[in-house]
Every structure is written in C-alpha cells, then in structure tokens.
Structure 1
Amino acid sequence: MGPEGKTLLNIIILGFGFMFMFTAFQTCGNIEQTVIKSFNSTEFHGSGYTSMAIIYGVFSASNLIAPSVVAVIGPQLSMFLSGLVYSGYIAMFIHPFTWSFYTASVVVGIAAAILWTAQGNLLTINSTDATIGRNSGIFWALLQFSLFFGNMYIYFAWHGHVHILDKDRQTVFISLTVISLVGSVLFFLIRKLEPEATPCEASESLLQTESTESASIVKALQLSVTKEMLLLSISIAYTGLELTFYSGVYGTCIGAMTQFGDDAKSLIGLSGIFIGLGEILGGGVFGMLNKGNRFGRNPVVLLGLITHFVAFYLIFLNIASDAPIAPEEGTHLQAYITPRYTVALLCSFLLGLGDSCFNTQLLSIVGFMFREDSAPAFAVFKFVQSITAALAFFYSNYLLLHWQLLIMVVVGFLGTLSFFVADWVVVSSRRDTDYDSI
C-alpha cells in the first residue's frame, strides 16, 4: 500500500474510532438528564445539565494544556487514554454517586481537549493541502453517523417504557461503555507514517508549533481581540448555545412530554436520529459539495437561521414550557397546540440541518481569514463555543423553555448579522488584493 492509501486508511480508522466513542458519549449526553430523574436513590443529587456545564467549562480552559500533552505522549496514546476517560464517565452511570459523577465530569473536560487536539494533529499529519478537504469530510461524516446507532438502540431498548428502571439503565450504560472502549482500541490500528511518507513534513511543523505553545497562546489572545474574530465570536457563541439545546435539553423535553404517551422516553432516541439526518444532509450539501465556495457563505448561514427560527417556533407551540426542568413523571402542562411527536421529530431534523449550516460556514471563514494562524484561531473558536455551551447547560437547570428559546433567537439574529459583516470584510479584502495585483 502506497503512502496515499496508508494515509486514507488512517483517516477512515480515525473516523470509525470516533464514531464508536461518540455513539456512546453523545447518546449518554442525550439521555442522562432523563435517566438521572429516574434514579431510585435519595443519596444522588446530581444534574445532567450541571455535569455538561462542567465538562464544557473545563474543556474550554484545558485547550491551553492539551498541545503539550499530545506533544509529550503522542496523538495515538493521547486519544486512547482520553477514550478510557470517556468510557469511565459512561460506566459511572451503572452505579452512580454524586461525587463520582462530578469528578468524572471534570476529568472528561480535560480529556476532551486532549482528544480533539490529538485528532487535529493526526488529521493534519495524514493530509496534504490537496486532501485535507476530502479527509475532513470523511472524518466528519463518520463522526455524525454516531448519532444514528446509539439513539436507534435507545429507541428499541426503551420502547414502551414509561419509567426507566435501574435494570434498564444498567443494561444501556454497560452496552455504551463497551461500545466506547471499542472505539478507543481502534486508535491503535492507525499506522505511523515513515518520515519520507509524511505529507508536506506536517509532523515536523506540528512539533515546531507545539514547542512554541506559549507563543501560540499569546497569538490566540491577540486574535481574540481582532475586529474579524470579535464579529465572528457572536456567531460562534450561538453555535455553543444551540449545541447545548439540541444535544441535551431538547431530548429531555421530549422525554418529559406525557402527552406523547408510553413512547415519550423512546422518542429521545428517534429525536437524536433525526438530528443526525439533518447534520449529515447539511454537511454533505454545504460542506463537501460546495467546493470553491460557489454559492457564498451568507445564503447558507441565512438558511441556517431561518431553519432554526422555524424549529424554535414549532417547539414553542408543541412542547410545554416546563419540559426542560420537569420531574421524572413528566409535565402535565398543555402546550399551545395539541403536542404531536411528528412535529417534535421534524424540529429535531431542522435543528441538525441549521447547526450544520452555521458550523460548515464558520469553519470555512475562520480557516480562510486566519490561514497563517489557523491553530490559535481555532483554539479561540473552541474556547468561545465551549464556554457558551457551559453557560447554556448551567442556565438550563433553571430557565423555562420559552426563555431558552428567546435567548437563542436573539443571539442567533445578532450572530447572523455579525457574520454578514465579517464575510463582507473578507470579500472586500479579497477585492483589494485582486486590485493590487493588477
């Protein structure tokens, strides 16, 4: 097998490893607040929303130390050890305690930063300028398929279950732990490249980048206060807020709707599947197929905003206002219309589609604007996104549904306007560059 075939195989293995790991972890995040409400234990006082807030908060801060860890122990071992931490977090739900729950949340936040830094390292090492787009698309598509398998399992495992018994919980989380461990082990199948087979000597440049980590931190701080990044930060903050909503809050709302009958809990799994369908469709159409940015970024972002606004309005009408914070037996409040699970699943699809619109275009514009400083620029991106996700998970403990939707509507509208201005800056600078070259 030639170098090109070996690097492609490495990308595919990397994608499958993440698919298994996040089949387990994303499913865990989707159901954990619902599961926690059903615990038959007076000693446990944890909150799934608070746990996720801790994870994303620690994750944002840990981006500062992650490059050093990956540089010392290498990307493969970094991903394997991080995967074990993820598996430990999932396994904790088999027999949960409050102290172990929150301790695991802190450790997973650190592991997440190391995992994604190592993933970026391996993706770069196994790519050239010509193949980075293809390889990113392959990895992204495999990762998004994780939304299907775990949620499909939840749908069949909990079908017809009004209450989640200890036995049901233990069966699900033992299975998810094993799935996560399989993903971690797959990372060891990634083959190391020979020095002469490393595209563009990417490994050497990465080591140089990691050796000047302090300079990267300074650069990231400098980029964070530039006009372009400040404009984009509102859009990035919005993706953090809606990430929280579709990955943790909305599934909890669906599971709390007693009007959906005995299938309410299993519908959490179907909701995750429809979110995945929206993500994959949007990513395919606006990510991989829109080569050369033929259609422009603004129409795609505007489509994402309209898609989300339609979803938010339908959710407002279809889901009871106290659903995010309802007790284990669910909410008995009446929504503005007779609740329909078909409308709820349509909204899941729209949430995934809109999310992919925003994320594909933000990744594109950040990569274009900060081509020479992509590593610190994406560090700022991840910091802003994860800190707002942490904030949203925190307030999800207390705010009724309509207030959460209102926050996203306001920030989404402002973020879209600021994105348009940022894109105009990009177009103007490109036009000036073309004029100067004449």
Structure 2
Amino acid sequence: MTPEGKSLLNIFILGFGFMFMFTAFQTCGNIEQTVIKSYNDTDFHGSGYTSMAIIYGVFSASNLIAPSVVAVVGPQLSMFFSGLVYSGYIAMFIHPFTWSFYTASVLVGIAAAVLWTAQGNLLTINSTDATIGRNSGIFWALLQFSLFFGNLFIYFEWHGKSTITDKDRQTVFISLTVISLVGSFLFFLIQRPEPEALPPETQDSPAPVEHSESSSVVVVPRGLWSQALEAFKKAIELSVTKEMLLLSVSIAYTGFELTFYSGVYGTCIGAMTQFADAKGLIGLSGIFIGIGEILGGGVFGMLNKNSQFGRNPVVLLGLVTHYLAFYLIFLNIASDAPIAPEDGTHMQAYITPSVPVALLCSFLLGLGDSCFNTQLLSIVGYIFRDDSAPAFAIFKFIQSIMAALAFFYSNYLLLHWQLLIMVGVGFLGTLTFFTTEWLVTCRHQDSDYDSI
C-alpha cells in the first residue's frame, strides 16, 4: 500500500472508531435529560443539563494539559483510554446514583480533552495541505453517522411509549456501552504513516526508553517530559495569535449550537404534548440531524478541496441554514419546552406545532453544524500544521467552555432567549471566519509571489 493509501486508511479507521464511540455518547446526551425525568428513584437528584455543563467545563480546563498527555502517551493510546472512560459514563446510566453521575461527568470531561486533542493530531499527521480538507470531510461524515444509527435505535426502542421504564433504560444503555467499547478497540488498527507521508515535524524518531537499574520500573525519558512542557507552552503561545483569536468567535459559536442540537432540541421535542409519540420523535430528530451532518461532511469536505472560492461560501451557507432553522423552531416549539416538567409543556407555539417542520429543523441544524465544523477543522489544520496538537486543544478548549456555559443556562432560559444568543454569536463568528480566511489567502499569495 502506498503511503497516501495508508494515511487515507488511517482516516477511515479514525472515523469509524469515533462513529462507534459517539453512536453511544451522542445518543446518551440526546436522551439523558428525558431519561432522568422518567427515573423514579427518589434518592437520585441529577440533571442532564448540569451533567453536560460539568463535562464541557472540565473538558475546557483539561485542554490546557491535553497536549502534554498526548505528547507523553501518544495519540493512539490516548484515544483508547479516553474511550474507556466514555464507556464508563454510559454504563453508569444502567443504575445511576447522584454521586456516580457527577463523578463520571468530571472524568469524561478530562477524557474528552485528551481524546479530541489526539484526534486532531492524528488527522493532521495523516494529511497534507492538499488532503486536509478532504480528510476533514471524511472524518466528519463518518463521525456523524453516529447520530443516525444511535437515534434510529432509540426511535424503534421508544416508539409509542409515553414513559421510559427502568427496563427500557437498562436495555438502551447496556447496548450503548457495548457499542462504545467497540469504537475504543478500533483505534488499535491505526498504523503510523510512512515517513515520506508525514509532515516534517513528526518524522523525528522517538527518544529511547530508559530503564532503572535498581528496579523493573520503566522511567519516562527526559525528552518526553520536555516534549510535554513544550506542548503546553506552545498551546499558550498559539492562543494569543491573531488567527486563533479571530477563529475563537467562530469556534465559540459551534459550542453554543452543539449544546442546542445535541441536548436541548431533542428535549424540547420530547416535551411537546401536541406531538403524537413525542418520546419516539427524539430519536427521529437525532436521525435527521445526523443526515444533515453526514451530507454536509461528505459534500463540503470535497468542495473544500476543489473550490476556487475558499472556505467562506460554505460557512456562509451554514449561517443561513441555521438562521432558517432558528426561525422555524421559534415559530414551531413552545418557549418553555427546554425546561418543561416531566408531563411536558402545554403552552402554545406561534403556529400549530408540526412534526415535519420540527424534523426539517433537525436536518437544517445538522447541515449548518457540518458547514462550520468541516471548515474550522480544515483551516485550523492548515494554519497550525506544525503545531496541530496544541492548536486543536485550543479549539476544543474554546468550544467546550461555551458548550458548558450553554448547558448551564439551558436549565433556566426559555427557548427564544437561547435562539437569540446563537443568532448574535453566529453572525459575529461568521465575520471573524471571513477575516481569518482572507488573512490566510493573502499570506499564501505573498508566499507564491516570493517564490517566483
């Protein structure tokens, strides 16, 4: 197999591993607030929104040390052990306790930072400037198949049910735990790319492992600790560059809308008493989000490679798509749906609530999200190719802290206020992305001129 072929195979394995893991985890996030509302144990006092806020808050803080962990452990093992922690969080729902629920939330936050930093590192070292857009699109499309399969399972399991019993919950979460474990073990199939296929900074041979003469304990070589410290310092330096400061607004927007489509919108649909089979529609909504994500990841990843107009048109399409979705959601869903009690909301929306409109909005949310994320993955990988691990750590730091903030206020804010926040941040994020793309284009043109 050619070096390029091996690198492409690694991207597919990476995508399939994340597909299995997040078939479990994203489905878990989509349904956990509804599951918790139906849980009858009086000793349990957890909130799905609060759990996700903890996860993303810890995730954000842990991104400061994640590049150092990946530098010492390596991206492959980093992803495997992080995946095991994800599986533990999902398994906790088989019989949840308040203490285990929130403890697992903290641990998943730490694991998530390591997982996504390692993912960004592997994506970059298996890509070139010419293939980073294509590979970002392939990875994103495979990842978003997780929304399709997981929520299809939920739809058939919960179809026609108004209440989720203990048996229903246990069946779902045992299945999701097994699926998550399959994804973790797939990471062992990833091979190191051939040296000629690697970016220059990854071709150095690793420092040899030193052994203590007085015991069998393996001593981590000083070079690795230096590498870890250097990765941390590099992350701080990159965070204040002009390009990263501009992109931070766009990244922040993806954090807000991630919270909305992955946790809030499904809860809103499940709370609409005007919908027949509202609980089953949670899974169906997730499927349509996944279809939008898959379509966007596949199409826009390929367009990124061949487009003469850069990344801006795709990001603009994402903003327009999301604005249309927000407007229709505002009209179709009752304003108190995000915080409605177990028996649902009885408030009237601005139009007669429509299931087709709700599912169209799900598709638009997924399509718009893929527009932003594929282009952000591409531009971060392109600008910071030589420092991909710390750059993607910053990416996830910003995204996760905004997601944590959004999950926190989702406990309190009515739907129209949540939509208004996303409208404002999305507009600013699109402008800053355009500015960054323009800076990158000008720099590339100057480089071509200097080489003549």
TM-score, length-scaled by structure 2: 0.89
Give the drift of 1:61.
1.6
Q: Deviations over 1:207-231 (max 9, x none)?
A: 5898433333333323323333222
Aligned pairs for 1:197-212 (under 5 A) are: 199=198, 203-205=202-204, 211-212=226-227
Is 2:279 aligned against 1:244?
A: no
The corresponding residue for 1:350 is 364
The corresponding residue for 2:377 is 363
- Match of 2:119, as an amino acid? Q
Give the Cα separation in 2 of the matches to 1:203 and 1:275: 36
Q: Deviations over 1:128-168 (max 9, x none)?
A: 56655544443322211111111000001000001111111
The corresponding residue for 2:215 is none
Give the Cα separation in 2 of the matches to 1:136 and 1:417: 22
Give the Cα separation in 2 of the matches to 1:143 and 1:206: 31
1:125/1:202 contact within 8 Å kept: no
- Match of 2:320, as an amino acid? I
Give the Cα separation in 2 of the matches to 1:301 and 1:13: 27
The corresponding residue for 2:217 is none
Give the drift of 1:432.
4.3
Give the Cα separation in 2 of the matches to 1:411 and 1:129: 30
Q: Which moved more, 1:111-120 or 1:312-321?
A: 111-120
Give the Cα separation in 2 of the matches to 1:11 and 1:368: 17
With over 3 angstroms needed to count, the CA separation of the structure-2 counterparts of 1:126 and 1:414, relative to structure 1, is: closer
The corresponding residue for 1:323 is 337
Higher share in helix: 1
Q: Which moved more, 1:230-239 or 1:72-81?
A: 72-81
The corresponding residue for 1:226 is 241
Is 2:282 aligned against 1:265?
A: no
Is 2:282 aligned against 1:282?
A: no
Give the drift of 1:8.
4.1
Give the drift of 1:380.
1.9
2:254/2:369 contact within 8 Å kept: yes
Give the Cα separation in 1 of the matches to 2:190 and 2:247: 35
2:133/2:301 contact within 8 Å kept: no
* Matched residue SS, 1:332: coil
Give the drift of 1:181.
1.5
- Match of 1:231, as an amino acid? L
Give the drift of 1:437.
5.2
The corresponding residue for 2:185 is 185
1:56/1:390 contact within 8 Å kept: yes
The corresponding residue for 2:351 is 337
Query: Runs of 5+ in structure 2 lacking a partner?
Result: 207-222
Q: Percent identity among equivalent residues?
A: 82
* Matched residue SS, 2:93: helix
Q: Which moved more, 1:135-144 or 1:32-41?
A: 135-144
The corresponding residue for 2:406 is 392
The corresponding residue for 2:424 is 410
Give the Cα separation in 2 of the matches to 1:205 and 1:106: 35
* Matched residue SS, 1:25: helix
Give the Cα separation in 1 of the matches to 2:253 and 2:68: 29
Aligned pairs for 1:132-143 (under 5 A) are: 132-143=132-143
Give the Cα separation in 2 of the matches to 1:281 and 1:422: 25
Aligned pairs for 1:363-382 (under 5 A) are: 363-382=377-396
Give the Cα separation in 2 of the matches to 1:378 and 1:293: 24
Give the drift of 1:170.
1.0
Q: Deviations over 1:8-46 (max 9, x none)?
A: 444333322221111000100000011111110111111
With over 3 angstroms needed to count, the CA separation of the structure-2 counterparts of 1:303 and 1:198, relative to structure 1, is: closer
Give the drift of 1:402.
0.6
2:124/2:381 contact within 8 Å kept: no
Aligned residues: 436
With over 3 angstroms needed to count, the CA separation of the structure-2 counterparts of 1:425 and 1:80, relative to structure 1, is: closer
1:67/1:210 contact within 8 Å kept: no
1:121/1:206 contact within 8 Å kept: no
Q: Which moved more, 1:272-281 or 1:98-107?
A: 272-281
Query: Runs of 5+ in structure 1 lacking a partner?
Result: none
With over 3 angstroms needed to count, the CA separation of the structure-2 counterparts of 1:210 and 1:338, relative to structure 1, is: farther
* Matched residue SS, 1:145: helix
TM-score, length-scaled by structure 1: 0.91
* Matched residue SS, 2:362: helix
Give the Cα separation in 2 of the matches to 1:380 and 1:269: 32
Give the drift of 1:3.
5.3
Give the Cα separation in 1 of the matches to 2:413 and 2:133: 40
Give the drift of 1:126.
4.6
Give the drift of 1:364.
2.9
Is 2:70 aligned against 1:70?
A: yes
Give the Cα separation in 1 of the matches to 2:10 and 2:440: 34
Give the drift of 1:366.
2.9
2:116/2:392 contact within 8 Å kept: no
Is 2:248 aligned against 1:214?
A: no
Q: Deviations over 1:319-344 (max 9, x none)?
A: 01111011111111111110011100
Structural RMSD (CA): 2.5
Give the Cα separation in 2 of the matches to 1:320 and 1:206: 59
The corresponding residue for 1:165 is 165
2:51/2:105 contact within 8 Å kept: yes
* Matched residue SS, 2:275: helix
Is 2:325 aligned against 1:306?
A: no
1:257/1:319 contact within 8 Å kept: yes
Give the drift of 1:233.
1.5
Give the Cα separation in 1 of the matches to 2:273 and 2:150: 23
